[in-house]
Amino acid sequence: MRCPKCLLCLSALLTLLGLKVYIEWTSESRLSKAYWGPRGMAPGPTPASPEPTLPANLSARLGQTGPLLSAYWNQQQWQLGSLPRGDSTEPGGCRAWGAAAAAQIPDFASYPTDLQRFLLSAACRSFPQWRPGSGRGQVASCSGTDVPYLLLAVKSEPGHFEERQAVRETWGSPAPGVRLLFLLGSPEGEGGPDLSSLVTWESHRYSDLLLWDFLDVPFNQTLKDLLLLAWLGRHCPGVSFILQTRDDAFVHTPALLDHLQALPPSWARGLYLGEVFTQAKPFRKPGGPYYVPKSFFKGGYPAYASGGGYVIAGRLAPWLLQAAARVAPFPFDDVYTGLCFRALGLAPRDHKGFLTAWPADRTADPCTLRDLLLAQPLSPQNSIRLWKQLQDPKLQC
């Protein structure tokens, strides 16, 4: 060898280059594994989220690529331009979609009463806010200097004061860049006690209740999502992220903030993050809470994040409203959100820190919760106990 020193230098350079490639590859692998879906399936072809789009024809994007199925939802989605707008008394107004459902579904009379009621008014999505007495307690708009980084949008029911108070005292307590709102229907209810006076007092006391004048029942949960998105467009368009969850959830807010702040910008722009189901199918057994008749819908569900808790990018709010105007109504709020995201060409990202089926017989341990971002369901008493334990500087795990 004429120049052993040259060969030695070249060998060292090649070794360093190989080491650099290996470090970059392993770092990217560790980062992306946190977002892989069930059974190791990545939610999209690349780590970066694509920009939302809304094609003129949504059928192919929503999975209707083969022969058109005969179920009512599939037929409606195939021919749907956009859902009717305006008051239900207008000709062709929002109740026309429900009337058509009742007339065209052959076994509509055999549907559960709650599902019938949902379908008859499912296209009606314009409801006034329910105003507490004297006008006090209304939720303030975001000011130019007070736009939250993270909005905690918590679905609740008028009678769930204990759950809301537990959230206020724990993971929803005031923090820089974080704002808490509860989403409710009318407290006047149906067939139950009139909670108007109690909800009015609570609204005056905390000013964190967004109330609308519609019946607060399980099949109307999608309304809370859509009316929140519309409210954000008018009153708080600059929010960075929105956590949509329920009042029986426990959120490790500091850990969630740390996670969101560490996201690559390209991922954050199209974020739809939670516990993702990729191969879910309708339940066909009558009598269950998630029963879907074959005459209404055929096929599998899109990939969607569990309604127990998920995070979306704030910039997607107007896009989701546009998609919802062109996606046929579906009775389950989380599945419908998944349909709207699929209509936009966006996929959910799975994160193992979201656990939305906390076993009833499992002890809620602070060391376990410390490693999660969200757990659901937990009782108000467990939430308060766990929050205090997590704030203890002497906690050892």
Residue 12 has pLDDT above 70, yes or no: no
Give the least confident one: 6-20, 40-54, 200-214. 6-20
Average pLDDT over residues 273-298: 95
Give the least confident one: 80-94, 215-229, 353-367. 80-94
Q: What is the pLDDT of residue 282?
A: 96
State the amino acid at position 10 in one-letter form: L
Residue 26 has pLDDT above 50, yes or no: no
Q: Is residue 386 part of a domain?
A: yes
Give the least confident one: 50-64, 128-142, 173-187. 128-142
Q: How far is CA 195 from the centre of its chain?
A: 27
Q: Are strands 250-251 and 374-375 parallel, antiparallel or unpaired?
A: antiparallel
Average pLDDT over residues 26-48: 36
Read off the pLDDT band of 90 (50, 70, 90).
low
Percent of the chain with pLDDT over 70: 84
d(CA 183, CA 39): 34
Residue 259 vs residue 50, higher pLDDT = 259
Residue 39 has pLDDT above 50, yes or no: no
Q: What is the pLDDT of residue 133?
A: 67
Q: What is the pLDDT of residue 11?
A: 53
pLDDT digits (tens, 9 = 90+) for 325-357: 999 999 999 999 999 999 999 999 999 999 999
**β-sheet bridge partners, residue 242:** 151, 312
Read off the pLDDT band of 20 (50, 70, 90).
very low
CB count within 10 Å of CB 347 equals 23
Residue 237 has pLDDT above 80, yes or no: yes
Q: Is residue 285 part of a domain?
A: yes
Number of domains composing the chain: 1
Q: Is residue 129 part of a domain?
A: no
Q: What is the pLDDT of residue 324?
A: 97
Read off the pLDDT band of 293 (50, 70, 90).
very high
pLDDT digits (tens, 9 = 90+) for 240-261: 999 999 999 999 999 999 999 9
Q: Which domain holds residue 168?
A: 147-391
d(CA 66, CA 300): 13
Q: What is the pLDDT of residue 383?
A: 95
Q: What is the pLDDT of residue 10?
A: 46
Residue 286 has pLDDT above 90, yes or no: yes
State the amino acid at position 149 in one-letter form: Y
CATH number at residue 317: 3.90.550.50
> In whole numbers, what is the pLDDT of the chain averaged over residues?
86
Q: What is the pLDDT of residue 86?
A: 56
Backbone angles phi, psi at 328, to 5 degrees: -60, 140
Q: What is the pLDDT of residue 42?
A: 33
Reported pTM: 0.86
Q: What is the pLDDT of residue 190?
A: 77
Q: What is the pLDDT of residue 38?
A: 33
d(CA 339, CA 76): 14
Residue 136 has pLDDT above 90, yes or no: no
Q: Is residue 90 part of a domain?
A: no
Q: Is residue 270 part of a domain?
A: yes
d(CA 199, CA 209): 9
Q: Is residue 21 part of a domain?
A: no
Average pLDDT over residues 194-208: 93
221-235 helix and 317-324 helix, angle to the nearest 10 degrees: 130
333-343 helix and 317-324 helix, angle to the nearest 10 degrees: 100
pLDDT digits (tens, 9 = 90+) for 307-320: 999 999 999 999 99
Q: Is residue 322 part of a domain?
A: yes
Q: Is residue 242 part of a domain?
A: yes
